[in-house]
Amino acid sequence: MTSTTSRHWAQTVPGSTALPRVLAGDGRRDLPGHLARHGQLPDVSGSALLDAVEAAGLSGRGGAGFPTARKWRAVASGAGPAVVVGNAAEGEPASSKDHVLLTTNPHLVLDGVQVAARAVGATRVVLYAEPDAETWAVLGEALREREDDRVELIAARHAFIAGEESAVVDAVSGGPGLPRAKPPRVFERGVDGRPTLVQNVETLAHAALVAHYGPGWFRALGTDDEPGTMLLTLHGGRGRTVAEAEIGTPLVDLVDLAGAQAVLIGGYHGTWVPADAARSARLSRASLGAVGATPGAGVVVPLPRGSCGVVETARVLVYLAAQSAGQCGPCLNGLPRIALVAEALAEGRATPRDLADLRRWAGLVQRRGACAHPDGTVRLLTSALEVFEPEVQRHLAGRCSARDHRPILDGRS
Ligand SMILES: Cc1cc2nc3c(=O)[nH]c(=O)nc-3n(C[C@H](O)[C@H](O)[C@H](O)COP(=O)(O)O)c2cc1C
Ligand code: SF4
């Protein structure tokens, strides 16, 4: 941390360890409410903001957990004036956290966009979100309140892959919003060929708080290696809630695992974890990594004992196969076949040879697409085949042990 940074953020903030941090917690926060809570953004240089975000140890909340400051430095050192895109596409059907954040605390996200733009020297700033009526109304009103006409609102496609960073760049550049081949990575050449920061809106909200209160405040919660809090979409009882939790919180404190057989962690590109393993895991990359999972974008779905993991997984695989952009071999040839056989398995029509094919295809599609959609899809499949192995065998024999056939995971299109 530079001396400028430490001087500026020497003061402590009342209630610094209280939750929630990025969620408004008290309904929708308008500009007067936001200013009453946080005040104006401090007048700090871009390089001091960058140092502060680095010292805070903030990492991306859009799924991959990439160190935020490293990305900001790459964009800041790129050729030409940069572009910042706040990514609120939230294509994941099991996630609602970006929608809740954006519609209840829009000014914190807009502060974050402003902080990122200053840190990377951006001359164009965009918020990219699904154009549902509520989001558009709230964002339009928030921008009017700020009298800010520099932030462009651009509509995201309603599709699982819409939020993949190169798809975001494609859409903002006026294209159809499909993922592009890499390299170049978007931080090198993104929107209109300019260095582009695509950042999840929750990450931007945390960055805004770092700008307001400093890295020491940010690190007061979380673990040394994974500081801060994160937003979660917690499923249970066939409903969902969005919550903010300290990183490192035991999973049993977040969701009811009493009647669960397994837990899907990280969403449709996530991993099934047996309930026993989940009961001793914590919300962190380190702890979840030990059971083969990552927090992803914070989706946690307990699967009750009466439901069937093979059927739930097949429904999601069919959905994911249909969501591909159909541009690359693994998505054109691999995912539809995987979905078809997974569905046959769920319906008790698959053979041991089909199961062997599923496992083989899972290996074949990995790391072969222009984006990580095939990899994420087979991560779900592979964990299901492992965690639900006894149920897979039952399905091969034409049986299913589910007592409750109501869907847990939505195969919405
Ligand atoms: C298929 C696919 C879909 C994605 N969808 C989203 C999304 O809806 N929102 C999001 O923030 N990131 C999404 N990502 C991750 C983005 O590519 C990118 O890593 C992220 O926006 C970067 O922000 P962060 O560093 O703040 O996490 C997706 C990635 C993949 C592979
Ligand atoms: S891997 Fe699939 S989803 Fe990704 S760009 Fe290629 S076809 Fe589209």
pLDDT digits over 299-335, tens only? 999 999 999 999 999 999 999 999 988 899 999 999 9
Candidate of 157, 178, 328, 337 to mutate for ligand 2, largest count of ligand atoms within 8 Å of Cβ: 328
- Does a structural domain hold residue 407? no
Residue 258 within a domain: yes
Q: Whose CA is nearest to atom 3 of ligand 2?
A: 324
**Domain match, 60 and 190 both:** yes
- CA 165 to centroid of ligand 1, rounded, Å: 6
Can you give the pLDDT at residue 412? Answer: 64
CA of 365 to the centre of ligand 2 (A): 11
Q: Give the Å distance between the CA of 323 and the centre of ligand 2.
A: 9
Question: Distance of CA 397 to CAs 21, 99, 203, 313, 352, Å?
Answer: 51, 43, 47, 18, 10
Question: Taking 80 as the threshold, does the pLDDT of residue 236 lie above it?
Answer: yes
What pLDDT is stored for residue 16 in this prediction?
A: 56
Whether 174 and 249 map to the same domain: the answer is no
Q: Is 408 part of any domain?
A: no
Q: How many Cα neighbours within 13 Å face the side chain of 258?
A: 2
Ligand number, closest to the Cα atom of 93: 1
**Which stretches of 235-334 are DSSP H helices?**
275-279, 285-289, 309-323, 329
DSSP string covering 167-225: HHHHHHTTS------SSSPTTTS-GGGS-EEEEEHHHHHHHHHHHHH-HHHHTTSB-SS
Report d(CA 297, CA 336) in Å as an integer: 25
In the prediction, which pLDDT does 27 show? 84
Write down the pLDDT at residue 308. 98
Predicted pLDDT at 326: 86
The answer on 383 and 338 residing in a single domain is yes
Instruction: Tell whether 313 and 261 lie within a shared domain.
Output: no
Q: Which CATH number covers residue 263?
A: 3.10.20.600
Q: State the maximum Cα–Cα separation within the chain, in Å, rounded to a whole number.
A: 69
Q: For ligand 2, atom 1, which residue shows the shortest CA distance?
A: 369
Q: Within this chain, do residues 253 and 180 fall inside the same structural domain, yes or no?
A: no
Ligand 1 centre and the CA of 284: distance in Å?
18
Q: Same domain for 337 and 287?
A: no
- Predicted pLDDT at 26: 75
Ligand having the closest approach to the CA of 166: 1
Q: According to the model, what pLDDT value does residue 25 have?
A: 84
What does the pLDDT average to over 233-258?
Answer: 94
User: Domain range holding 198?
Assistant: 3-218
Number of H helices, E strands in the chain: 18, 9
pLDDT-derived band at 13, boundaries 50, 70, 90: low
Give distance in angstroms: CA of 409 to centre of ligand 1: 20
> Where do we find the tokens 């007048």?
43
Report residue 413 as tokens.
């299109």
The CATH number that applies at residue 385 is 1.20.1440.230
Residue nearest to ligand 1 atom 15, measured at CA: 164
Is there a single domain that holds both residue 170 and residue 240?
no
- Which residues are near ligand 2 (CB < 6 Å)? 161, 179, 324-328, 330-331, 369-371, 373-374
Q: Which atom of ligand 2 is nearest to the CA of 331?
A: 2
Instruction: Among 68, 135, 165, say which to mutate for ligand 1: greatest number of ligand atoms within 8 Å of CB.
Output: 165
Q: Are residues 352 and 287 in the same domain?
A: no
Last residue of a domain, one of 166, 188, 218: 218
pLDDT digits (tens, 9 = 90+) for 93-106: 999 999 999 999 99
